[in-house]
Amino acid sequence: MSAPQQPPKVEVRRSAKRRRTVSARREGDTVVILLPARLSKAEEAQWVAKMLAKLAFRNAKQQRSQQVRLAAGAKSSAAVPAVAGRFGAAVGRSVGTGDAYPLGVLLARGCLHPHQ
């Protein structure tokens, strides 16, 4: 059985420049909540609860998607060598917009075949 989870340490930072938005982020083991300075203590308490719930939901969602990726990676790891022979270095890494190659280069390298 797992131990009960401790509530996170919360730090509230108020800013006179911040007018409308409320945001939260993690800094180590502390949750930092950024609020407009004009909010009352009651509004602060509501926003803290809301932002903690939002961060907990986001964290749970990230953990679920990571578990799915790990499970999918375990299933497909046997297929990678078969694909790697055809596409070379492009397999196993993220391809961004800066990694685009002209069609002629791909054909010349043998990555694509004109009549497939």
Residue 8: its pLDDT value, please? 84
CA 113 to chain centre: 35
Residues 6+ apart with CB under 8 A from 24: 31, 32, 33, 34, 51, 52, 54, 55
pLDDT computed for residue 115 by the predictor:
61
Question: To 10 degrees, the CA torsion angle through 61, 67, 71, 72?
Answer: 40
Asked if pLDDT for residue 89 goes beyond 60, the answer is no
DSSP codes joined into one string, 35-89 = EETT--HHHHHHHHHHHHHHHHHHHHHHHHHHHHHHHHHHHHTTTHHHHHHHHGG
User: What pLDDT does 1 receive?
Assistant: 47
What would the mean pLDDT of 65-85 be, rounded to a whole number?
65
Counting residues of the chain whose pLDDT is more than 70, the rounded percentage is 59
Is the model's pLDDT at 37 over the cut of 80? yes
Q: Is the pLDDT of residue 80 over 70?
A: no
Does pLDDT of 21 surpass 70?
yes
Best CA proximity match to 55, nearest among 33, 35, 40: 33
Q: Is the pLDDT of residue 29 over 60?
A: yes
**Residue 36 reports pLDDT greater than 90:** yes
Q: Domain-by-domain residue ranges, the chain? A: 1-73
Mean pLDDT computed over 72-98: 54
User: What is the C-alpha to C-alpha distance for residues 73 and 30, in angstroms, rounded to an integer?
Assistant: 32
